[in-house]
Structure 1
Amino acid sequence: MKKIRIGYIEYLNCLPIYYALEEGSVNLEAKLVKGPPTKLNRMFLEGQLDITPISSIEYARNPDKVVILPDISISADGNVESIFLFSKIPVTELEGHTVALTTSSATSVVLLKILFDHYYHVKVNYVDRKPDLPTMLKNTAAALLIGDDAILAREKYKELAGQPLIVTDLGEVWKKFTGMKMVYALWVIRQGFVDDNPGETAEIAGIFRKAKEIGLNSLDLLAGKAAEHYNLPKELFDHYYETIRYDFGEEEQTALLTYYDYAYKSGLIPERVKLRIWGENIG
């Protein structure tokens, strides 16, 4: 198999998938390209990557360009522990205020807008900001952070300028709103690659399944590595890896389509979409 280009989001929630690839526990000749979700989304859609974890919302915006790899996602059933709205006042009192959105995210930005529209029924203004909580909250009432930035900010900032911060887990709110899981990212492969390499695509799908299995059997090790890297208690990361889910079965697919339905109602995607999954309705 020729060397393929694979996007790699350097967040803790991706480590269980990439651990086996980096350690060579699975046989896949690949170039790993690291970056935040928004950067990898763009590179993939511009044809610079063959496979990548993609923000769930970007699939809905480009359904004809990509195929979903089966049995793998980043999801959670309730609290996600890494997507937080930090606010100076209760969320229900944010009417007319400005909310800073991290430039690292796509799916979570849309999720927040859906929740404001359909759950809180609050109208706010939005500005984009780089993911640094004190800077984001300098002239705004609330700020959205995701991934490692969110985890570390919650540990570091209990208050700012002497003012306590209210931390809202968007996964928990989505669960209260819909009763469903939330799917934050999918692993996808370019339609052109699939067309040209159907046999290799099937092999790649199997390799990613195996990589996931190895990673999920190594969570204790990965939590220890994360604790050492960030100099934080291992229990924090044990809990995080107990929270994040990596499956993409019927429940996750139904939940994702529900998310897309609300995104459509909020005018955040142009049309409702179907899921094109390798091995289920493609290949």
Structure 2
Amino acid sequence: MEEKIRVGIVSYLNTRPLIYGLQRLPIKDEITLIEAHPAALADMLMKHEIDLGLVPVAIIPQLDQYYINGNYCIGAIGDVASVALFSDQPVHEIRKIYLDYQSRSSVQLLRWLVKNHWKIEPELVQAGDESYLERVGGDTAALVIGDRALQQRKRSKFVYDLAGEWKTATGLPFVFAAWVSTRPLNADFINKFDEANAYGLQHIDEIASAHSNGVYDLQKYYAVNLSYELDEKKREGLALFLKVIKASSPNA
């Protein structure tokens, strides 16, 4: 019996349409699903603790060798809703921003927006745990991602959606995470993997209903805010973002 492929999946609502298909035959017998938040998955891929992961694209420049697999991702062509800068003040009055410890790509994106789009100079502080969410107020803001961001939308006066801001600045969609491996995977496996992703996206209504929590309209979230196909425009946006990361690297 061949060893199962260890697949890392983000433990947020945004991945439920992709997980839906991966939990079903025929692909389920070939994989072991491992859930974690994005930054943890990034570390797991770099340590070879998973074989394939829906990882933050910001880690790609750190990999000696990488492969972007299949035709699906976590992306957005406008506002994504679950990745945002939250504040009680307009963006140009923010003096301090806490950075979500669960994020890699969104932190890099925020740094770029701060410098090149909003052109502000706040103090950026890396959060270490959930307590940073309690510090939002006055001229202190926070980057929050995932399900917690959907909840934070009801608490903050100003919400700056990072995918929407990127689209305004560049005219391109944004890719937060892609299926990345550090070694080539069998083409037949990737075809079946793609089919499983597509299958889940055909059951959005069912998935939204199953995970409804009253915090946010999941039908809108899956069908409008999120865009899962890794099409040419998203690949163009991804290429630009990777170029931005490389240019901002101290080793560039």
Q: TM-score, normalised by structure 2?
A: 0.91
| SS of equivalent residue, structure 2 residue 120 | coil
Deviation at 1:223, TM superposition (A): 0.5
Cα 1:173–1:250 shift into 2, 3 Å: same
Sequence identity of aligned pairs in percent? 27
Aligned to 2:171: 179
User: 1:72-83 alignment to 2 at 5 Å?
Assistant: 72-83=72-83
Spell out structure 1 runs of 4+ moving beyond 4 A.
Answer: none
Cα 1:70–1:151 shift into 2, 3 Å: same
Bigger mean CA deviation after superposition, 138-147 or 13-22: 138-147
Counterpart-to-counterpart distance in 2, 1:139 and 1:4: 47
| SS of equivalent residue, structure 2 residue 67 | strand
Aligned to 2:181: 189
Contact kept, 8 Å, 1:28 with 1:207, in 2: the verdict is no
User: 1:203-282 alignment to 2 at 5 Å?
Assistant: 203-227=188-212, 230-232=213-215, 236-242=217-223, 243-265=225-247, 267-268=248-249, 270-271=251-252
Contact kept, 8 Å, 2:98 with 2:132, in 1: the verdict is no
Q: Deviations over 1:33-52 (max 9, x none)?
A: 11101111101110111111
Cα 1:241–1:133 shift into 2, 3 Å: farther
Counterpart-to-counterpart distance in 2, 1:210 and 1:52: 17
Q: Deviations over 1:49-107 (max 9, x none)?
A: 11111101101221x3321102111111111111011112111222xx21101100000
Cα 1:139–1:87 shift into 2, 3 Å: closer
Counterpart-to-counterpart distance in 2, 1:135 and 1:207: 44
The number of equivalent residue pairs is 249
Cα 1:264–1:212 shift into 2, 3 Å: same
RMSD of aligned residue pairs (Cα, Å): 1.9
User: 1:146-165 alignment to 2 at 5 Å?
Assistant: 146-155=145-154, 157-158=155-156, 165=157
Cα 1:71–1:86 shift into 2, 3 Å: same
Q: Deviations over 1:192-249 (max 9, x none)?
A: xx2xxx5xx212211221111111111001110111xx2446xx10100112111122
Q: TM-score, normalised by structure 1?
A: 0.82
Which structure has the bigger radius of gyration?
1
Counterpart-to-counterpart distance in 2, 1:104 and 1:180: 24
Cα 1:269–1:4 shift into 2, 3 Å: farther
Q: Does 1:127 align with 2:125?
A: yes
Contact kept, 8 Å, 2:73 with 2:229, in 1: the verdict is yes
Q: Which runs of 5+ in 2 are unaligned?
A: none
Q: Deviations over 1:163-192 (max 9, x none)?
A: xx211111111111011100110101222x
Bigger mean CA deviation after superposition, 213-222 or 132-141: 132-141
Give the counterpart letter for 1:203 in structure 2.
D
Q: Which runs of 5+ in 1 are unaligned?
A: 159-164, 272-283
Give the counterpart letter for 2:7 in structure 1.
I
User: 1:4-83 alignment to 2 at 5 Å?
Assistant: 4-24=5-25, 26-62=27-63, 64-83=64-83
